[in-house]
Amino acid sequence: MRFYIIIPAHNEESSIGLTLDALVNQTVLPKQLVIVNDNSTDKTQDIVEAYIEKYEFIKLVNSKSSNQHLPGSKIINAFYKGYNTLDDDYDVICKFDADLIFPKNYLEKLALYFNSNKRLGMASGFCYIKKNNDWLLENLTRKDHIRGALKAYRKDCFLEIGQLKPSMGWDTVDELLAKFYDWEILTDETLHVKHLKPTGISYNKASKYLQGEAMYKMRYGFVITLISALKLAYKKASFSLFKDYLVGYFKAKKKNTVFLVSEEEGDFIRNLRWKGMFEKLK
């Protein structure tokens, strides 16, 4: 199975070498591995170039973008800088973060899953973060959700969902659209991936408003947004985030912000969300 991997990277000198070590030592190697050096001011480029000298399947794309941290749009725009340099001769396209350490059989296990189920659209392992010298399951991890840090898509699924949306919420709407188009999603809890920098650690106030905006753009509606905002704020142990999410939602509504999904897809998404909540209540 032909894996193409794209890794957006901004000032990742402390982790990019560990991530690349893990990928060049896989039992199934990627056919193409592109690192998009997005406006780094540290030694990220030097580290990647050292790997390029040893491995012909690795290449570097240098990109200049704003230094402003904009979750969603910035990282997906960087992803496309790498994607546009590739041909379409792949079976699985991956968007990985530059701060992950994968088990050696990670791609081999994903290949096994994709080969054994033709309707499997997306697959991943679980993210673990280090706390007090122990590696613990990242609290945003769920069995029915693939973390944005380690996305892997079957080619047909990736194309049918319209690829990735340059917006906050891209790593939720991709799964919702995959389900809309009748693709299956798999997570393997035995595949432990070390996540060196927990998600959201550098989010600022403006970035947090974008989470509420994303809920609007996915056509959640107010009630589902309210419930989702409460749940997410609770997981992050911050009531102020709950207020930020709602402010972001109403700001987007006031501006008539463009939706990420069609009305039909929005109906499906709301029904899916309600179904999931009722099942949990049972």
Instruction: Give the pLDDT of residue 139.
Output: 72
Q: Hey, what are 137's tokens? A: 């399951």
Instruction: Give the pLDDT of residue 69.
Output: 53
Q: How far is CA 12 from CA 18, 73, 145, 229, 245, in A?
A: 10, 19, 25, 30, 29
How would residue 280 be classed by pLDDT, with cut points 50, 70 and 90? Answer: confident
**CB under 8 Å to 217, separation ≥6 — which residues?**
167, 169, 173, 252, 257, 258, 259, 260, 261
Instruction: Give the pLDDT of residue 1.
Output: 94
Q: Find tokens 């060049």 and name the residue.
A: 24
Tens of pLDDT, residue by residue over 73-119, are: 889 999 999 999 999 999 999 999 999 999 999 999 999 999 999 99
Instruction: Give the pLDDT of residue 209.
Output: 87
CA-CA distance, 12 to 203, in Å (whole number)?
16
- 163 conformational bin, left if phi > 0, alpha if psi -120 to 50, beta if neither: left
Q: Classify residue 61 by its DSSP letter.
A: E
Nearest alpha-carbon partner for 189 in 255, 142, 235: 142
Measured from the Cβ of residue 23, the count of other Cβ atoms closer than 10 Å reads 26
Q: Is 1 exposed, middle or buried (0-12, 13-18, 19+ CB in 10 A)?
A: middle
What is the helix (H) or strand (E) element at residue 126, kind and residue range?
A: strand 120-131
Nearest alpha-carbon partner for 8 in 168, 148, 108: 148
User: Chain-wide mean pLDDT for the chain?
Assistant: 92
Residue 138 has pLDDT above 90, yes or no: no
Percent of the chain with pLDDT over 90: 79
pTM as predicted? 0.92
Instruction: Give the pLDDT of residue 197.
Output: 84
CA-CA distance, 142 to 66, in Å (whole number)?
32
How would residue 281 be classed by pLDDT, with cut points 50, 70 and 90? Answer: confident
CA-CA distance, 280 to 277, in Å (whole number)?
5
Tens of pLDDT, residue by residue over 180-201, are: 999 999 999 999 999 998 765 5
Nearest alpha-carbon partner for 7 in 82, 118, 105, 87: 82
Instruction: Give the pLDDT of residue 178.
Output: 98
**CB under 8 Å to 223, separation ≥6 — which residues?**
none
Contact (CB, 8 A) for 31 and 145: no
Percent of the chain with pLDDT over 70: 93
Instruction: Give the pLDDT of residue 239.
Output: 85
Share in percent of the chain as helix, strand, coil (round to 5): 40, 20, 35
Q: What average pLDDT does the segment 245-271 reach? A: 96
Q: What average pLDDT does the segment 139-153 reach? A: 87
Instruction: Give the pLDDT of residue 61.
Output: 97
Tens of pLDDT, residue by residue over 19-37, are: 999 999 999 999 999 999 9
Instruction: Give the pLDDT of residue 16.
Output: 97
- CATH architecture for the domain at 3-195: Alpha-Beta Complex (3.90)
How would residue 9 be classed by pLDDT, with cut points 50, 70 and 90? Answer: very high
Residue 171 has pLDDT above 70, yes or no: yes
How would residue 14 be classed by pLDDT, with cut points 50, 70 and 90? Answer: very high
Tens of pLDDT, residue by residue over 54-65, are: 999 999 999 887
